[in-house]
Amino acid sequence: MSAPERPDRTRAAPSPRDYARPTRPPLRDRRSGPTDWSTLMTRRTRTIAIMLTAASLALAGCSASTPAEPDDSAAPTVSETTDATSAPATDESSSEPAADAPTSLMAVVGTEDDPEAYEIELTDESGATITTLPAGDYSLTFVDRSTMHNFHMTGPGDVDVRTDVPGSDESTIEITLVEGTYEYVCDPHVSNMSGSVEVTA
């Protein structure tokens, strides 16, 4: 039977907690598995060495504080697992758009190479497509060199701005965006030239 070998090793790592906790009977826990702790100890002296190390680590954690949760402040070895769950990642992601938010937008139809291409999008100054924005005042520059497309955006706050279909328009206007969804289209080609931007409060 070589099956017990693999689980033994992987289970040696989390063992300090299980071993130190009498409330969690190891035999029961691992009844479905190929081994239990009693056979482990008699079979493999190497495991005992590991467990002794683990036990001392667990004791170090216990002596400093209660064993259940405040591990992270006491035992650096155990904290690896607990730190990952307590990392505050949500704050950054919510503040990031505001910090990165552009103040200048571009309303683009066609492409640089082909003004008549069936493309429409709202971008920042670098040309990156924008799908969300914080509410606020923006300058909006039309990049419409097409004679058969236009850019037409509507949304909350009575926003309704557009370029003419024929001729080019590369003007810049000031625009105030409030919370809600703004839709933009090319009027002659609504079905295949459209997009939207979500504005958050």
54 sits in which H/E element: helix 45-64
Give the nearest distance from C-beta 123 to Cu ion in angstroms.
Answer: 17
Residue 140 or 186: which CB sits closer to Cu ion?
A: 186
Give the nearest distance from C-beta 129 to Cu ion in angstroms.
Answer: 17
Binding site for Cu ion (CB under 5 A): 149, 186, 188-189, 193
Residue 115 or 155: which CB sits closer to Cu ion?
A: 115
What's the per-residue H, E or C state across 129-165?
Answer: ECCEEECEEEEEEEEECCCCCCCEEEECCCEEEECCC
Give the nearest distance from C-beta 148 to Cu ion in angstroms.
Answer: 6
Residue 19 or 118: which CB sits closer to Cu ion?
A: 118
Axis-axis angle for helices 45-64, 5-12 (nearest 10): 20
Residue 151 or 182: which CB sits closer to Cu ion?
A: 151
Sheet of 172-177, strands arranged across: 120-123, 104-109, 136-144, 172-177
Give the nearest distance from C-beta 188 to Cu ion in angstroms.
Answer: 5
